[in-house]
Amino acid sequence: MFLFLTGATGFVGGNLLSELRRLGVRGRCLLRDAKKASLCEGFETVTGSLDNIPPGALDGVDTIVHLVGIMQETGGQTFESVHVKGTQNLANEALKAGAKLKNFFYQSSLGASLKSPSKYQKSKARAEEVVKDSGLPFTIFRPSLILGHVDGFTRQMAQMISSSPVIAIPGNGEARFQPLLVSDWVKCFLQALENGGQDRIFEIGGPEYLSFNDLVWEYMKAMRAEDKKFFHIPMGLAKAGLSLISVAKAAGVRNIPEVGAEQLLLLSTDNITEIDSIKKQFGFEPQSVRGNIRQFIPDEYSKEFQKTT
């Protein structure tokens, strides 16, 4: 087995590489920045992008693992260019190279739909269509929120809680999520890898539904910040064009992470599937995020916590 990985230096990709390295799986990583080659220790690397895949990059490859994704559009990196066109370019390159693929694995998102009001979710659904229409054997994962060491969501939450006297929550905070630990995602992936492309879509989530309010409270407890107050910013204010940052600052909140219109939309919509989705599809019980969040708090935000334990 020889893998070709995109997004290998990201949160999910980094955790996956660690396990693949431990198992002795061989592969090649596509890097935009050659300086990050050390993050792919034990794997071959090629420098390029989804717009410019180097010749020979797919030589000897039998499995593509496509993890690249963005949560916000910046400059020329749009949901359309990264999720849709990038996936199309990769599929085209696989077909052109004549790679004898056993599996084209695509990391999509729970809630991906061509009818979604979210540009992010809609672009993920369009990328899924690209994979399905390619004629290549495929596996698609639609996970809910994935948490673990150095995940972006935890970093944002830790930054907000540690630096603000009060916590600002956009909307009513009642939208539900089904967070899963990245270690459980990796277990699911390894099973899918072993089975090869089955032309299937797997919706996966953890063993509990947590509202955004619940998640905020879990992070507050993990950081020993239960004494802080939180308030809700009406979603209509943000949708009317008022900056969440300026509203929060007016209320005395400092250093709140940037939240764009797309993120506000995702925070107002349930992101869940069957509560036993992993048990049914992969045969094991995933771990609860409750009690595990503390270990994911970045060191720079956990100093105060460490002093009190």
The CATH number of whichever domain residue 216 belongs to comes to 3.90.25
Alpha-carbon distance of 163 to 301, in angstroms, equals 9
- Is residue 242 predicted with pLDDT exceeding 50? no
Whose tokens are 């054997």? That residue is 137
In a domain, 119, yes or no: yes
State the Cα angle at 7 between 6 and 12, rounded to 5°. Answer: 125
Same domain assignment for residues 86 and 227: no
pLDDT at residue 245, rounded to an integer: 54
Same domain assignment for residues 7 and 138: yes
pLDDT at residue 237, rounded to an integer: 63
Same domain assignment for residues 158 and 137: no
- The number of distinct structural domains making up the chain is 2
Q: What is the CATH number of the domain that holds 78?
A: 3.40.50.720
Q: Could you tell me which residues come within 8 angstroms of residue 275 by beta carbon, excluding any fewer than 6 positions away?
A: 178, 205, 207, 208, 209
Q: What is the mean pLDDT of residues 207-212?
A: 97
Same domain assignment for residues 60 and 123: yes
Domain-ending residue, one of 143, 165, 190: 143
Per-residue pLDDT tens over the stretch 107-137: 999 999 999 999 999 999 999 999 999 999 9
Same domain assignment for residues 164 and 103: no
What is the β-pairing status of strands 166-170 and 210-211?
A: unpaired
Instruction: Tell me if 297 sits within 8 A of 289, measured CB to CB.
Output: no
Same domain assignment for residues 157 and 139: no
pLDDT at residue 246, rounded to an integer: 56
Give me the amino acid identity at 252.
G
Same domain assignment for residues 7 and 87: yes
Same domain assignment for residues 126 and 214: no
Per-residue pLDDT tens over the stretch 12-31: 999 999 999 999 999 999 99
In a domain, 181, yes or no: no
Q: What is the mean pLDDT of residues 277-305?
A: 88
Same domain assignment for residues 14 and 108: yes
In a domain, 171, yes or no: yes
Same domain assignment for residues 244 and 294: yes
In a domain, 196, yes or no: no
Task: Return the beta strands (E) in 108-249 as ranges.
Answer: 138-143, 146-147, 166-170, 176-177, 180-181, 200-204, 210-211, 229-233
Nearest to 99 by CA among 28, 43, 33, 32: 28
Residue predicted with more confidence, 77 or 304: 77
Per-residue pLDDT tens over the stretch 60-90: 999 999 999 999 898 889 999 999 999 999 9
In a domain, 98, yes or no: yes
Same domain assignment for residues 232 and 126: no
Instruction: Tell me if 8 sits within 8 A of 30, measured CB to CB.
Output: yes
Domain-ending residue, one of 143, 167, 191: 143
Same domain assignment for residues 115 and 159: no
Domain extent at residue 245: 152-175+208-270+288-307
Q: What is the mean pLDDT of residues 248-267?
A: 64
